Structures are given as structure tokens and as C-alpha cells.
């Protein structure tokens, strides 16, 4: 199958108030890709996601989005804050709010949007929770609900910022399995920031390491062979 470009970054620099956080990035995200973004704290991973989402204009270089993404076909799963965990709404309401940017000027959600929300809850195995209050769910259940919400917006691309933070190891593995399914069986392109290198190396097609000393982009095998991956290889052996 022909793989279409979704996002192309050329000689990209991003930062705040003219101060560069990352620079010289050349990156192509294509349909069906699974890209993991790793690196030290404060190196610019979330900044890159903001750039990819079009929330932060480039200081230098360009970010081009495919036309279909301009129409809002990107799903975003942000890092969860404590306040969000206490959100007072039902599961169904939380997931439906993922369709908000397609609601236009209409006041009510359409039947198609409702069925899409239910379908995504089913896909993530949490349909039976739909009438429950979101704040009463476990961390793993909440993350599945938020992923279902992001899927309501995501036509082609899902952008995730540390999706397993705060989850126990079993819930984290479940979530990775779901992401693998969405990528391999449904062709959803994924860009995921993670601290967790093992799933990044096992599931991803490419790894982007953003370090204070430079940027590495390659396959998981190339990453392991590189000076950036060396530290991890020593831990894994
Ligand atoms: P990471 O996600 O890799 O931990 P971030 O992208 O959050 O790193 O941050 C990279 C750098 O940009 C840090 O030095 C941080 O202090 C700075 N930074 C992040 N957000 C802002 C902001 N809104 N305004 C100014 N500086 C910021």
C-alpha cells in the first residue's frame, strides 16, 4: 500500500520566545507509522508534540500537514493531570466530548457521533462502563476512556504524551497492546512520547531520541546500536 505523508518537518526549530528548545529536525510521519519519541526530561518531547499539533509555530523551518489532518483528523491524548482524574462527568460524556470539534454550530451531538463514541468504547473494552462516573474509575480504565475519546477525533493519526504514566504494569501492558492493535490492524499512525523504552523498541517502527546533545532518528535496531541506545542496551543485558 502506498504510504501517504501525514506530517513533514523540515529543518525545524521549535522553542519559546525566540529561544530554541530543539533544532535541525527533519521528520516525516506517514500513514501507518508508529514513532516513539524518547529522551531526557526537559529535552523538548512535549514541545515537539505541540509543534506537530499546530499549537506552536516553528521558529525556523517548516511543518507541513496533509490536508485531511487540517480538517481535524488528529487525536490527542495529553498527559493526565490530577484535576482531570477528578472530572465530574459520565464516561459517555467524556468520550463524546472528543467529537466536539466536529460539532460545528449544532448544539447536540449527531446520532453518528454517538454511535462512533460507543463504537470506540467497545473497541477499547470499556463499553459497559459508559453510564459510570469517570472520576470513580481506576487509572487504567480512565486512560482507556481517554483513548476512546481521542479516537473520536482521530481519523488517521493519534498523538500520545506519556500514556502509561501512573498506571500499574498490567494496565500499562494492556494499553500498549491496544495501541499495537490500533496501529497494525486499523492502520492508525501513532506518535507517542514515552519514558518506557521496552515497548518503544518492541512495537515502534522508528525511534526519535531528543537529547541535550542532539537528535537521533532511526529504527529500534539502529537506536540500540547508536550511542543514544547504548545506555539502555547495558541495562537490558
Ligand atoms: P520534555 O517533554 O522532554 O520533558 P518539554 O518540551 O516539556 O520537555 O520542555 C523543553 C524545554 O522547554 C524545557 O526547558 C522547558 O522548561 C521549556 N518549556 C516548556 N514549555 C514552555 C513554555 N510554555 N514556555 C517556556 N518554556 C517552556
pLDDT digits (tens, 9 = 90+) for 135-171: 999 989 999 999 999 998 887 899 999 998 888 889 8
Query: Measured from the CA of 193, which atom of ligand 1 is nearest?
Result: 2
The predicted pLDDT at position 101 comes to 62
Look at residue 200 in the predicted model and tell me its pLDDT: 80
Q: Which atom of ligand 1 is nearest to the CA of 49?
A: 6
Residues of the chain with pLDDT under 70: 1-2, 71-72, 82-83, 100-108, 231-237
Residue length, the chain? 237
Residue 44 Cα to ligand 1 middle (Å)? 6
Find the 205 Cα to ligand 1 centroid distance in Å. Answer: 26
Helix (H, G, I), strand (E, B) or coil at 29: strand
Q: Which residue's CA lies nearest to atom 5 of ligand 1?
A: 44
Confidence (pLDDT) at 24? 93
Ligand 1 atom with minimal separation from the 44 CA: 6
Q: What is the pLDDT at residue 72?
A: 63
Atom of ligand 1 nearest to the CA of 39: 3
The separation between the first and the last C-alpha atoms of the chain, rounded to the nearest angstrom, is 37
Ligand 1: list residues with CB < 6 Å.
16, 21, 39, 41-47
Closest C-alpha among 101, 80, 207 to residue 154: 101
Question: Please, are residues 154 and 75 in contact by the beta-carbon 8 Å criterion?
Answer: yes
The answer to whether 147 touches 91, Cβ cutoff 8 Å, is: no
Amino acid at each position: 500500500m502506498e504510504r501517504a505523508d501525514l506530517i513533514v518537518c523540515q529543518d525545524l526549530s521549535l522553542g519559546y520566545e525566540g529561544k530554541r528548545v530543539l533544532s535541525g529536525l527533519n521528520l516525516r510521519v506517514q500513514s501507518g507509522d508508529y514513532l516513539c519519541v524518547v529522551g531526557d526530561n526537559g529535552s523538548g518531547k512535549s514541545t515537539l508534540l505541540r509543534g506537530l499539533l499546530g499549537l506552536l509555530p516553528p521558529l525556523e523551518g517548516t511543518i507541513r500537514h496533509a490536508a485531511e489532518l487540517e480538517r481535524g483528523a488528529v487525536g490527542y491524548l495529553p498527559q493526565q493531570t490530577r484535576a482531570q482524574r477528578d472530572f465530574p462527568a459520565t464516561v459517555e460524556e467524556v468520550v463524546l466530548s472528543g467529537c466536539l470539534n466536529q460539532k460545528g454550530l449544532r448544539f447536540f451531538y449527531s446520532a453518528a457521533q454517538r454511535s462512533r463514541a460507543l463504537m470506540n468504547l467497545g473497541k477499547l473494552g470499556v463499553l459497559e462502563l459508559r453510564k459510570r462516573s469517570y472520576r470513580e474509575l481506576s487509572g487504567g480504565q480512565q486512560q482507556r476512556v481517554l483513548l476512546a475519546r481521542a479516537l473520536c477525533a482521530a481519523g488517521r493519526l493519534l498523538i500520545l504524551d506519556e500514556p502509561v504514566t501512573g498506571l500499574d504494569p498490567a494496565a500499562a501492558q494492556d494499553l500498549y497492546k491496544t495501541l499495537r492493535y490500533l496501529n497494525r490492524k486499523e492502520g492508525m499512525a501513532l506518535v507517542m512520547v514515552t519514558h518506557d523504552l521496552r515497548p518503544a523498541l518492541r512495537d515502534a517502527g522508528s525511534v526519535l531520541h531528543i537529547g541535550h546533545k542532539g537528535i537521533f532518528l532511526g529504527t529500534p535496531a539502529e537506536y540500540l546500536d547508536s550511542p543514544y541506545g547504548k545506555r539502555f542496551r547495558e541495562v537490558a543485558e
